[in-house]
Amino acid sequence: MKKTFSPRVSGIEISGIRKIFEAAVPGSINLGLGQPDFDTPQYIKDAAIAAIQEGKTGYTGNTGIPELRDAICEKFKKENGLTCTPDQLIVTAGASEALHIVMQALVSEGDRVLCADPGFVSYSALATLAGGRPVGVPLDNNFHIDVERAKELMKGARLFVLNSPSNPTGAVEPKDTIRAIVEYANDCNVTVVSDEVYEHFIYGKEHWSAARFGDNVITINAASKTYAMTGWRLGYLAAPSDVVGQCLKVHQYCQACATSISQYAAVAAYTGDQKMVAVMRDEYRARRDLICAGLARLGFKFPTPEGAFYAFVPMKSALTQKIIERGVILVPGSAFGANAPEYTRFSYAASRENIQTALDRIEKAIRE
């Protein structure tokens, strides 16, 4: 049988991050992962166990259980200064599904989808899968969005994907930039998709939700990073009701609902004591300081990451390759777009001990 595949799928590459893991040597220190190395807090696990024991294991309503949607509305009010009603929310299988259904619902053939380059790997792939045309938005030397350049690109575009704090750069966009993007997008009839999954991991700056500045914004978030729940697959999107109505059709047919057990766990996460989030943030900050000081000592110059758990460092690809071969998993900048081939992403979602061992191995690789 002759096999044929959809050109939309055969035309995209498997993630560059996956390729690195496949090439890793045994005993490597992993500074490649985009996930917290903390365990999910016990009170969240307990809520999931209770849900299983109480038989809350069937399909839920497509948009999510009412308790969780209420808790997310309350979170938006308290943490983000946003007013949101439960009918403006869809609970999804992680932020990834939310991004996918938004692209499917809003992007038409050939539509331009603007996203930072370098930026999170999924945006351009999901835009392409939806038939759109991803267009990279260049960043300045500190990895911040070049607002004037972004405005030029905005005319005639369909979506602008904002991600602050950013994966892979760790940049946190200031209020003025976010406001300017949202307002200009509104003038140009462009919808802003604001991916805020790292909002709680910011070191000394403030997080501004894009939806504060206009109703042309779809907010995407997840329990994944905030509560160390990546494997639970629990995210959500918030948008005006007409947008939610269209996204819901895609969600209904491809996912039906987020995992029931994860939804009950997320109710505990969002309504419980938020102390653990601050503990994780403080630890990430200490790790950021450790890795940045270590890399600076080795002679690397790069903007101090302001948020998330990544440092994005100029490094020749041959050196990155050598370090990976010497047992430190890193992700080359080429995985994040076309604009940063001679950069490397370091994830500091790893213990301080592992970070120190990695720095020692890197020093040895440089001196060899």
Ligand X SMILES: Cc1ncc(COP(=O)(O)O)c(C=O)c1O
Which residues of the shown chain bind ligand X in the complex (CB under 6 A)?
A: 34, 94-96, 120, 163, 167, 195, 197, 222, 224, 230, 235
Complex with ligand X: residue 95 or 129, whichever CB lies closer: 95
Q: Which helix (H) or strand (E) holds 64?
A: none
* DSSP structure class, residue 202: B
Q: 357 near 365, Cβ under 8 Å?
A: no
Give 165 or 327: the residue with its C-beta nearer to ligand X.
Answer: 165
Nearest approach, Cβ of residue 203 and ligand X (Å): 17
Pairwise CA distance, residues 71 & 260, whole Å: 15
Task: Identify which of residues 95 and 127 has a Cβ nearer to ligand X in the complex.
Answer: 95
Calpha distance 352→360 (Å, rounded): 12
Residue 338, classed as helix, strand or coil, is: coil
Report d(CA 208, CA 354) in Å as an integer: 32
Nearest to 64 by CA among 266, 221, 257: 257
- From the CB of 34, what's the least distance to ligand X, in Å? 4
Nearer to ligand X, 116 or 153 (CB): 116
**CB of residue 229 to ligand X, shortest distance in Å:** 8
Minimum distance of ligand X from residue 278's CB (angstroms):
20
Query: Minimum CB separation from ligand X for residue 263, in Å?
Result: 14
Q: Taking CB positions, which residue lies at the least distance from ligand X?
A: 94
Evaluate the CA torsion angle 340, 342, 347, 348 in order and state its sign: negative
Q: Is 114 left (phi over 0), alpha (psi -120 to 50) or beta?
A: beta
In the complex with ligand X, which residue's Cβ is closer, 32 or 94?
94
Q: State residue 348 phi and psi, 5-degree precision.
A: -105, 30
CB 283 within 8 A of CB 351: no
Nearer to ligand X, 121 or 182 (CB): 121
